[in-house]
Structure 1
């Protein structure tokens, strides 16, 4: 009986200590994430945005422009188009479920979504379920960037316009089909609301080794308040090639050009 009394008193003491500790923790200020006040001053990019190419041909639109290429880049494009013409197949990396990266990821016929958080704007693209992270915390672009599909991006606000600067892109990324980029490629974007439900993005691509002058293009999106971004899993697509149908694509990579090496044998 005496041992039980000692045990009960120990439990009571432990309970009192726990309550005292909890009370002391409540008196201390819990750390809070700062910077959320800034979000109240930013324009509303919320919701899902669907590309609307009809907006590019209106009074405020800019018709798509073709890149003006250096001679080596033009030779590569000519070879790419000749191969397609002779073989009638798609030989792009996307047939192997490799995401297009920037700038192609923003040109896809699928919706996008913005998420604002302190010091960062994140753009989710339904295509390949990709996320672009644009840091608005005042950091500089890296001097020796890793090569990423969507690049290394920093941004700042000029009024209600988001200005984005991106460098450091994967060698698997193309400026456009058949036009590879060099390590000097730089992409600058202006993103703004033209109307409450119309968003525009002006993209300027510079690459002295590939482009004789910067390529300026514009994208336009309409807000779809009732839409959700859906899951996109490229590997689930039917990529069979047969006489009875299926995608007409070239699934055979040249081992010399394939950065991942030869495909595994069955």
Structure 2
């Protein structure tokens, strides 16, 4: 199956079920489906760096709002990704509908020459083959920033006075936002979700993320460099019908890949319907069970049952001689234990 977010990845059954619910729209309301994307809010002025942008917002907010557990905004429940404006940055008449399929032409002058050349080659491949032939998520790589913002699975958000946890079902990617802190990198390394600090401006959360591994904005979209940084504002809106929406205004800084900073708006929709059917975020694991690989022609291929390289996701641990070592315990359990 080729899912909506990660080309060719063999997904756990529960994730396939959740994705099917979201894609089919069985729970999302008609109001959510018809809701217009909020306008992009550009930074109050041009900033050379993400640090300058963040410092300006921090000063404007008077050093930020010091919330307690009684006053902190609550974004409880499950959420799914809504629409976003990112494709319009990189494609003429760009929409989410054509990001991962043929269509649209590259906006010239947005990316630096080497990154624009690579992006044009990626889009040409999609025109020739109907899709991007290989996606890094197939190798169980993390979505990373900024792709995290739109991965089409479920998310949970926990706000506390000292930290905010932004949790993504895909790859167990949890972004920890350290409130009122400075950036720290004692490992001297980049990570898929980078290091994030933030502050509250009333009910709006402001975040600055840096030290992010090179990745891409989405399958079919441009690459990011190891100099990518992002400033975001998150705010919950409750609509007249009572439905909740999280609106994220993001500005991307990447001096190696972008000619100048670019801004986009992303949304998430509250999904109580998914909670009602019992959906929960589980531990995502595919590094030891993925049967996909990159062939010599640059395509995603799969090892199938019977192939010596095939990994049985419902196999056994290193101690198959002991009872209870199957990775399919529900069906291997003794009848009296079920």
Give the structure-2-normalised TM-score.
0.53
> Helix, strand or coil: the match of 1:141?
coil
The answer on whether the counterparts of 1:112 and 1:229 sit within 8 Å (CA) in structure 2 is no
**Structure 1 position 224 matched with structure 2 position 271:** yes
Distance in 2, matches of 1:97 and 1:161, equals 33
- Superposed displacement of residue 66, structure 1: 2.0
**Structure 1 position 140 matched with structure 2 position 171:** no
Distance in 2, matches of 1:140 and 1:155, equals 9
Distance in 2, matches of 1:229 and 1:63, equals 28
Distance in 2, matches of 1:85 and 1:43, equals 45
- Deviation track 1:124-176 (CA, whole Å, cap 9, x = no partner) reads 1011222111111x2212377520100110010011000000000113x2234
**Structure 1 position 66 matched with structure 2 position 89:** yes
> Helix, strand or coil: the match of 2:152?
coil
Show the counterpart of 2:229. 186
| Long gaps (5+) in structure 1 | 1-35, 57-61, 242-247, 253-264
- Superposed displacement of residue 52, structure 1: 2.6
Give the structure-1-normalised TM-score.
0.66
Show the counterpart of 1:198. 245
Distance 1:50 1:76, change over 3 A: same
Distance in 2, matches of 1:84 and 1:63, equals 18
Distance 1:105 1:229, change over 3 A: farther
> Helix, strand or coil: the match of 2:252?
strand
The answer on whether the counterparts of 1:113 and 1:229 sit within 8 Å (CA) in structure 2 is no
**Structure 1 position 76 matched with structure 2 position 113:** no
The answer on whether the counterparts of 1:182 and 1:210 sit within 8 Å (CA) in structure 2 is yes
Q: Which moved more, 1:119-128 or 1:218-227?
A: 218-227
- Superposed displacement of residue 50, structure 1: 1.5
Distance in 2, matches of 1:163 and 1:99, equals 23
| Long gaps (5+) in structure 2 | 1-65, 91-109, 303-308, 311-338
